[in-house]
Chains A and B, each alone.
Chain A
Amino acid sequence: AQTVTQSQPEMSVQEAETVTLSCTYDTSENNYYLFWYKQPPSRQMILVIRQEAYKQQNATENRFSVNFQKAAKSFSLKISDSQLGDTAMYFCAFMNYNNNDMRFGAGTRLTVKP
């Protein structure tokens, strides 16, 4: 079974600074997807960024980028120029290529301080 580990329960960053959230996972699969989701107080899950395991190039979405290290099974999220609206819970998730069920890490609560 796949497991996803987020070792940072809480993090904080000053507005406009950069922060990196860590995620590691365990799987025997070769084809899979990795995601970072944001869950604000409204609790709506919002997709931040996705990475397909077969792609070597790290995904980037505006201020959000990932460092995907397949051999190390590591998938960290970097948020640049942090904004107050980035304050939320962030979940790392693994999705199996075949059956598509998604497994989440425990989450990291990020607080952006003014």
Chain B
Amino acid sequence: GAVVSQHPSWVICKSGTSVKIECRSLDFQATTMFWYRQFPKQSLMLMATSNEGSKATYEQGVEKDKFLINHASLTLSTLTVTSAHPEDSSFYICSARALVRHGSYEQYFGPGTRLTVT
């Protein structure tokens, strides 16, 4: 089946620094990837849609200058949290869209990245 990886799985950074999270589709090409944020004991909230070769589309309330998304190739999307603050501490999950059958799509999820800002 389709596999999506994320790196790193866990990162601790100091307040004010930036951190980059990578999302890769390992055995398929993904023109569209999605970034979600999940706070403890809460659901996944869509942050942005990442399209290969074009600008990301951000959900309302998500700061595009703080959460930089780059989808440079058909297998890689990156999320950079700039000038991180403790309130950015969360679990970040990416997913990649794949065409499965009869023109329908499915999303495959990465294992997530735990970000802790101290």
Contact = CB atoms under 8 A, between A and B. Distances in A.
B104 A33 contact: yes
A82 to B, nearest CB: 22
Contacts of B45: 104
B67 interface: no
B106 A50 contact: yes
Nearest to B112: A43
28 contacts: A33-B104, A33-B105, A37-B109, A42-B111, A43-B93, A44-B111, A44-B112, A45-B44, A47-B106, A52-B104, A91-B43, A91-B44, A95-B107, A99-B49, A100-B32, A100-B97, A100-B107, A101-B34, A101-B46, A102-B34, A102-B46, A104-B43, A104-B44, A104-B45, A105-B43, A106-B43, A107-B42, A107-B43
Given A104-B44, A106-B42, A43 B91 contact: yes
A78 interface: no
B78 interface: no
A102 B49 CA distance: 10
B92 to A, nearest CB: 11
Interface string B84-118: 00000001010101000000111101011000000
B12 to A, nearest CB: 17
Given A44-B112, A100-B105, A102-B34, 12 more contacts: A33-B105, A43-B91, A43-B111, A43-B112, A45-B109, A50-B106, A52-B104, A91-B43, A95-B107, A100-B97, A102-B107, A106-B42
Interface in B44-90: 44-46, 49
